Structure 1
Amino acid sequence: MKTEKEKMIDGEYYLAGDFTLVKDRRRAKNLLHRLNITEYRITKKAREIIAELIPNSGKNLYIEPPFFCDYGYNIFCGDNVFFNVNCVVLDGAKVSIGSNVLFAPGVQLYTAAHPLDAEARKTVEFSKPITIGDDCWIGGNAIICPGITIGNGCVIGAGSVVTKDIPDNSMAVGNPAKIIKKLNTDNTPTQ
């Protein structure tokens, strides 16, 4: 029999009020309080807090406070990941972020979802993983919905709501986000 935490991570219906999950969220909130309120500036202590909050990250994870997440341990980052101010990661399921990824202010990654049936919604929820490839730039206030994969080399325009997967080297904008062009793959700088 699976625990509620195992169900959550596996994308099945789970009870968010489960004791272990509440305890895990409380631990994350305590670390976030220290990061967002006590330290606020990126100091040696702030880097230690980030490493404890998000233990599954590569080199040079940089988070500009304030930052918000549910658990932290479900966020997996490659090297050189940058979160600007006011980013939110609801990490009930795994959030996989490649290397060299930039998140502008106010980006929101939602793995959490709820049943469409009103009765079921009163008691259970579920989560679907999010994957973001290498070398991506996610524009300000973009929202990435549950279960989305964004390929390598993508740009997501500011204010976009990503409801469908985005293939490699694509620029997507709008609500819902639509691909508006393929991006250079020859490493030529463009504006």
Structure 2
Amino acid sequence: MMREEERILRGMLFNPGDPELKEIKMKAHHLSQRYSQSFEEQTEERELILQQLLGELGEGGFMQGPIFFHYGVHTRIGHHFFANYNLTIQDDAQVTIGDYTSFGPNVTIVTPVHPLIASERRQMVNQQCELKALCYAKPVTIGNDVWLSANVTVCGGVTIGDGCVIGAGSVVTRDIPPNTLAAGVPCRVIRSITEADSMRHYPDILADCQVPE
């Protein structure tokens, strides 16, 4: 018999109330709570918590906290990741985040999907001929050098390409191609990001700083 976690990762209907899944989630919830109750200067303790919580974590990252991960082990994060306040990742399916990617406050990633028909949301017949509340999940992939602004929600099944900027308050329901500025509900590509966007062209803002060569 296929394990429920394997069903999740294959994109099949699964039972979120399965005891094995509940054990994984409970561990993630407790570790998320411990991290959220820690102080910024407790860097070693925070690092240890994240190593226990996440499937993979690169070097040089920082999460402001509070944080919430649903499974934790289904999330893989690259190097130099930054997350501001109130990061929520409901990682039933796999969530992959690249290097040098930054999140503003209140970013949410949600991978689970529930049936649209109300009666099917209540109960369906599982592979063991039992009536259970079932759902399924779709993975999320976020590339390198991506910036998600405040209050962005990324839905299951979405890939956001390298170098993208997603405007504040957006709800991302479809793939976003690399090196584009996108925003809205639902999120849509506004334009490409080009050299014309360089801070070199904003001397008043650049002031006495420099763009590296």
Classify the TM-score, shorter chain. over 0.9
Query: Does the CA contact (< 8 Å) of 2:165 and 2:182 recur in 1?
Result: yes
- CA 1:16–1:155 in 2, change beyond 3 Å: closer, same or farther? same
Q: Helix, strand or coil for the counterpart of 2:59?
A: coil
The structural deviation recorded for 1:187 is: 8.8
Mapped contact 1:93–1:127 kept (Cα < 8 A): yes
What amino acid is aligned across from residue 32 of structure 1 in structure 2?
S
3-state SS of 1:34 partner: helix
Percent identity reads: 35
Cα displacement (A) at 1:119: 2.2
1:95 and 1:185 map into 2 onto residues whose CA distance is 30
Counterpart in the other structure of 1:132: 142
Kept in 2: contact 1:171–1:180 (CA 8 A): yes
**1:152 and 2:162 matched:** yes
Q: Note the alpha carbon deviations across 1:149-175, whole angstroms, 9 max, x for none.
A: 000000000000111110000111111
The 3-state SS of whatever aligns with 2:190 is strand
Aligned: 1:59 with 2:59 = yes
Q: TM-score, normalised by structure 1?
A: 0.94
Q: 1:178 Cα shift?
A: 1.1
The normalised TM-score by structure 2 is: 0.85
Unaligned runs of 5+ in 1: none
Corresponding residue of 2:68:
68
Q: Structure 2 matches for 1:34-49, cutoff 5 A? A: 34-37=34-37, 39-43=38-42, 44-49=44-49
Distance in 2, matches of 1:95 and 1:113, equals 14
Partners of 1:42 and 1:114 in 2: how far apart?
Answer: 40
CA contact (8 A) 1:40 1:66 kept: no
Q: Which residue of 1 aligns with 2:29?
A: 29
- Code of the aligned partner of 1:126: Y
Do residues 7 (structure 1) and 7 (structure 2) align? yes
**3-state SS in 2 of match to 1:68:** strand
Check the 8 A contact 1:42/1:64 in 2, yes or no.
no
The residue that corresponds to 2:151 in the other structure is 141
The ranges of structure 1 where at least 4 consecutive aligned residues each deviate by more than 6 angstroms after the TM superposition are none
Amino acid at match of 2:47: R
Matched, 1:182 2:181: no
Larger Rg: 2
Separation in structure 1 between the aligned mates of residue 195 and residue 158 of structure 2, nearest angstrom: 22
| CA-based RMSD | 1.6
Task: Determine the C-alpha separation between the residues in 2 that align with 1:158 and 1:112.
Answer: 23
- 2-structure distance, mates of 1:134, 1:182: 16
Which one of the candidate residues 151, 165, 173 is aligned to 2:175?
Answer: 165
Unaligned runs of 5+ in 2: 123-132, 203-213
Name the SS of the counterpart of 1:52 in structure 2. Answer: helix
Please give the residue correspondences for 1:98-113 in structure 2 after superposition, counting only pairs within 5 Å. 98-113=98-113
In the alignment, the residues of structure 2 paired with residue 159 and residue 13 of structure 1 have an alpha-carbon distance, to the nearest angstrom, of 30
Q: How far did residue 129 of structure 1 move?
A: 0.2
Query: Residue 76 of structure 1: SS of its match in structure 2?
Result: strand
* 2:101 partner amino acid: V
> Does structure 2 conserve the Cα–Cα contact (< 8 Å) formed by 1:106 and 1:142?
yes
- Cα distance in 1 between the residues matched to 2:143 and 2:93: 17
